A and B are shown apart, each in its own frame.
Chain A
Amino acid sequence: MKLSELALGVLTAVGGFVDVSELVFMSQAGSRFGYALIWVVVLSTVGIMVFGEMSGRVAAIAKQPVFNLMRNRLGLRLGLITLIASFVSNLITCAAEIGGVALVLQLLTGAPMRLMAVAATAAFIATVWFLPFKWIERTYGLLGLFMLVFGVALVAIHPPWGQIAGGLVPQVPRGLSTRDLVAFAYFAVALLSAVMFPYETYFYSSGGIEDEWGPKDLGINRLTTIVGFGLGSLLAIALLASAAQLFGPAGISPEMIGTVAMQAGVPFGKVGVLLALLGMLFAIGGAAIETCLANAYSLGQFFGWRWGRHRPPREAPRFTLSWILVFAGSLVIVLTGVEPVELAEYAVVASILVLPLTYLPLLLLAGDRTYMRVHANGLLSKTLGWGFYVLIVLAAIAALPLFLLTSGGQL
């Protein structure tokens, strides 16, 4: 593996880490609870590293895509329930991303949001139709690196580094009212969900199969998930910390996605805002494509169709039709006028509910020596995998009540 290939893979993972839900929840969590939720971001990042690495390894060794093995392991009934639940969750997420992109385009150009949503969807369809898989991933991932401006902006505003480091320690802030305590729990669950979105695993492992990974690619898989996701998570923490520093004291709990760009605007003015908006555009745009393709992958794998972007679109017609329809369906949701922030809130709740069903067959297969041979889960992967699985199940149980009790974090 060439060093440049490796670096490119890692950078792509960094640029593609943040999506619209993370932008919203990191900023809101930071402005509301200061640095106290940083440990949840770190914990969730370790979770996505563990399951991302596992899904990549399964793709490389067992050559089994997630939904194929899910049906095989869970059977038709439970498999179908998982498919429908994850389809709905991904569709809402995709709509939130398209809405986010439309909003950013509106802020950049001043054109009406609905028009921008239509234009963005058309651009996404053209991108997926014409560009090879690797190009799609890299174009959006690398251009998403404009998001690094948020990291630089954090350094420029001289935050209290000691307090940020203090946020790494698991904690519940003292003196919170009962209402705030419930909100704290809601944000903890939402951050876990936003970092561990199920589409990321579907997309990542399907990408591994598209790129025909084999045992020789296990190194890059490990590096991409650990270093790439790790650095991406630093960006997410920068968003949270900047919000804690700039927004919290001003009484802002970002209700508008565009407000997030001011984190770069405060230290760097117009250039900062423009770079932030460009970063958001490509990071959210990349996530829109990933969520949409994740749905098409799920359908294709569950029903055993020809699937994949390594084939010309007409050679995998049901797969192609699926992603076009998912884009169209997401656009319809956006055109109804639901705010992208609201969609992002629904998306994180729907996603956490799906996670336990998604990760169970993955855990089972990754530990199965018949398929995985010497590459089956070792003690560390097994312990971490099951540990996070318990955490995800608990979060899934708590998610809906917390969402209702806090009116989606507004109370």
Chain B
Amino acid sequence: MFGRLTLFALLLAGGCSSAKDEELAAAKGARSVLAEWSTVERLDRAGRLPRAYANEMREKAREAVLTDRKSIKDPDAGRTVDAVVSVAAPSARSLAAAGTHLQRAVDRLEAL
């Protein structure tokens, strides 16, 4: 275990994959935010969230995804994010689907 950890530490400390790491962190962040946003939409649709809370969470989610998008270079992942944020009011289902799709990009980036 320590051997693997040391190797990983050396690889990262050597800066061999810092750009990839930034992209991976952004993709993971966007994936989570899409899932958070989807839950907001689902609960709000069921009338289970205060209005101000739902509106602000929606806005924050959009901002967070747009920030993460800047670091995402993977074309497939980028298209997924762009498609979601281009809609004014995406549905819970489309957000969840985009999140699942983005997970594949995360898996790809993790495998690199």
Chain A interface (Cβ < 8 Å from any Cβ of B): 106-110, 177-179, 181-182, 250-256, 258-259, 261-262, 265-266, 269-270, 273-274, 277, 401, 404-405, 407, 410-411
* Candidates A251, A259, A405, A411; contact of B57 at CB < 8 Å: A259
Known: A110-B56, A411-B24, A411-B28. A270 touches B49 (CB 8 A): yes
| A-contact 0/1 string along B27-45, CB 8 Å cutoff | 0110111011011100100
In the complex, are the beta carbons of B1 and A181 less than 8 A apart? yes
B100 CB contacts on chain A under 8 angstroms: 251
In the complex, are the beta carbons of A265 and B33 less than 8 A apart? no
B31 CB contacts on chain A under 8 angstroms: 251
In the complex, are the beta carbons of B53 and A107 less than 8 A apart? yes
In the complex, are the beta carbons of B99 and A251 less than 8 A apart? yes
In the bound complex, what is the Cα–Cα distance between A36 and B25 (angstroms)? 22
A266 CB contacts on chain B under 8 angstroms: 43, 48
- Say if the beta carbon of B64 comes within 8 Å of chain A: yes
- Say if the beta carbon of B81 comes within 8 Å of chain A: no
In the complex, are the beta carbons of B32 and A253 less than 8 A apart? yes
In the complex, are the beta carbons of B52 and A405 less than 8 A apart? no
User: How many interface residues does B have (CB within 8 Å)?
Assistant: 41
In the complex, are the beta carbons of B33 and A262 less than 8 A apart? no
| A-contact 0/1 string along B65-105, CB 8 Å cutoff | 00000000000000000000000000000000001100100
In the complex, are the beta carbons of A411 and B21 less than 8 A apart? yes
In the complex, are the beta carbons of A178 and B28 less than 8 A apart? no
* Candidates B5, B24, B40; contact of A178 at CB < 8 Å: B5
In the complex, are the beta carbons of A256 and B61 less than 8 A apart? yes
* Candidates B8, B43, B46; contact of A179 at CB < 8 Å: B8
In the bound complex, what is the Cα–Cα distance between A256 and B58 (angstroms)? 11
Smallest CB–CB gap between B21 and chain A, Å? 6
A407 CB contacts on chain B under 8 angstroms: 21-22, 25
In the bound complex, what is the Cα–Cα distance between A255 and B100 (angstroms)? 17
Having A273-B49, A405-B9, one finds 18 other A-B pairs with CB under 8 Å, namely: A107-B57, A108-B52, A108-B53, A110-B55, A110-B56, A178-B4, A178-B8, A181-B1, A251-B35, A251-B99, A262-B43, A269-B43, A269-B47, A270-B48, A273-B48, A407-B21, A410-B28, A411-B25
In the complex, are the beta carbons of A277 and B53 less than 8 A apart? yes
B contact face: mostly helix, strand, loop, or mixed: helix
Known: A273-B53, A405-B8. A410 touches B39 (CB 8 A): no
Smallest CB–CB gap between A40 and chain B, Å? 18
In the complex, are the beta carbons of A258 and B60 less than 8 A apart? yes
Smallest CB–CB gap between A127 and chain B, Å? 24
A410 CB contacts on chain B under 8 angstroms: 25, 28-29
Q: List 28 A-B contacts (CB under 8 A).
A: A106-B56, A107-B52, A107-B53, A108-B53, A178-B7, A179-B8, A179-B110, A181-B1, A182-B8, A250-B38, A252-B39, A253-B28, A255-B29, A256-B33, A256-B64, A258-B56, A261-B53, A262-B43, A266-B48, A269-B48, A270-B48, A270-B49, A401-B9, A404-B13, A405-B8, A405-B13, A407-B22, A411-B21
- Say if the beta carbon of B19 comes within 8 Å of chain A: no
* Candidates B1, B5, B32, B103; contact of A255 at CB < 8 Å: B32
B1 CB contacts on chain A under 8 angstroms: 181
Smallest CB–CB gap between A15 and chain B, Å? 22
Smallest CB–CB gap between A207 and chain B, Å? 34
Residue of A nearest to B103 (CB): A251
Residue of B nearest to A262 (CB): B39
Residue of B nearest to A106 (CB): B56
In the bound complex, what is the Cα–Cα distance between A410 and B21 (angstroms)? 9
In the bound complex, what is the Cα–Cα distance between A265 and B99 (angstroms)? 21
Known: A110-B52, A265-B49. A181 touches B43 (CB 8 A): no
In the complex, are the beta carbons of A107 and B56 less than 8 A apart? yes
Residue of A nearest to B8 (CB): A178
In the bound complex, what is the Cα–Cα distance between A383 and B74 (angstroms)? 53
In the bound complex, what is the Cα–Cα distance between A356 and B35 (angstroms)? 39
Smallest CB–CB gap between B58 and chain A, Å? 10
In the bound complex, what is the Cα–Cα distance between A269 and B43 (angstroms)? 8
Residue of A nearest to B36 (CB): A259
